Chain A
Amino acid sequence: MNRLLPLLGFFALVGLLGFGMWWNAHHEANEVPSPLIGKPAPEFALPLLYAPSQTLTKKDLLGKPYLINVFGSWCATCQYEHPILMAEAKKLGVPLIGMAWKDPPAESQRWLQQFGNPYDTIMSDADGRAGIEFGVYGAPETFLIDAQGVIRYKRIGMLTPETIASELNPQLAKLGAGGR
């Protein structure tokens, strides 16, 4: 038995290595879980992209759940996410609000004109201040906010049909909104 001990130790380490590899394959190592989930969304008051004289605030949106999708014309992954939003946005059953993050409004507008506009409303966060309040560190990011203004779910990185089906729709269903 004593002789087997080093061998067992070795296998234990191999097991640990295997677990580590499995874990890394199934988890995004760079992803920083948001401490804001389950907390009230930060207050914001941002100009609308297509009507800069009007502002959209958190209060305006209270009363029913909605999604905020953080994007930017400079953001490469957003271009991959964009056709998925075009296809899925209307099926989600909640408003999809765009937040053009750290993007000059003219650039966001040109980008949307070129690729299409999947959003119900778009607000412009050109200097990125609101993004910091939301703990955004890379676009695209998507927040689900409930009728009381509490953040219920956050997706870091692009929404895919798979993540919509496996993560977003169940969260929407919990809120009794959309989510087929």
Chain B
Amino acid sequence: MNRFLRRLATALIALMLAATCVVHAIDPLPFRDRAEEVRFQNLTRQLRCLVCQNQDLADSDADLARDLRKEVFDMMRAGKSDADIKHFLVARYNDFVLYDPPLKPGTWLLWFAPFVFVVIGAIAILRILRRRTRAAVAVSVHAPSHTEDDW
């Protein structure tokens, strides 16, 4: 029994290790050198696969993703900059292909809403604090109290 459990544990650990190996959907693209490959990987990791929408282009095994990787590779070879390549894809597939939403009027709400909420929260806390201090002062004037604030 003990041996069985140990074997099971070993098998499970092996399985988990295997799962953590990053699997890349690699098609044999003829990279010139390491730098080109790194650039390609960086770029495709910033682009979203439109078929499996929570995967990036580097990782997706979808057929269209393979085509788009080829497209990106060809554009790199044609001397296009990363910005050019992104622009090409955005023009056809919308900002949605970019994992990082660009800052523009349409996305102001997305980018700035969190800060607005923080400011609202800060104002609320300040007001509550001020009211409590005032109340505490009023109380201590009338009768010295030793109770702490209860929040």
Seen from chain A, the residues whose Cβ lies within 8 Å of a Cβ on chain B are 30, 32-36, 102, 127-128, 132-135, 137-138
Contact = CB atoms under 8 A, between A and B. Distances in A.
A102 B71 CA distance: 15
Nearest to A135: B92
A128 B96 CA distance: 20
A133 B89 CA distance: 9
B94 interface: yes
Nearest to B49: A137
Nearest to B66: A128
A30 B71 CA distance: 23
Given A102-B63, A132-B67, A137 B51 contact: yes
B101 to A, nearest CB: 13
Contacts, number: 36
**A-B residue pairs, 10 tightest by C-beta:** A137-B50, A135-B92, A32-B96, A35-B94, A135-B93, A128-B67, A32-B94, A137-B64, A30-B53, A132-B71
A106 to B, nearest CB: 18
A137 B63 CA distance: 10
Q: Which of A30, A127, A137 has the most CB of B within 10 A?
A: A137
Contact of B93 (A30, A32, A127): A32
B38 interface: no
Given A35-B90, A135-B92, 6 more contacts: A30-B53, A34-B94, A36-B91, A132-B68, A132-B71, A132-B92
A134 B91 CA distance: 10
Contacts of A132: 67-68, 71, 92
Main secondary structure of the interface of A (DSSP, over half): loop
B50 A32 contact: yes
Contacts of B92: 35-36, 132-135
A111 B11 CA distance: 46
B126 to A, nearest CB: 16
Contacts of B96: 32
Nearest to B64: A137
A134 B67 CA distance: 14
Nearest to A35: B94
Contacts of A128: 64, 67
A133 B67 CA distance: 12
Q: Which of B51, B63, B92, B94 has the most CB of A within 10 A?
A: B92
Contacts of A127: 67
A70 to B, nearest CB: 12
Nearest to B65: A137
Contacts of A34: 94
Contacts of B64: 102, 128, 137-138
A135 B91 CA distance: 8
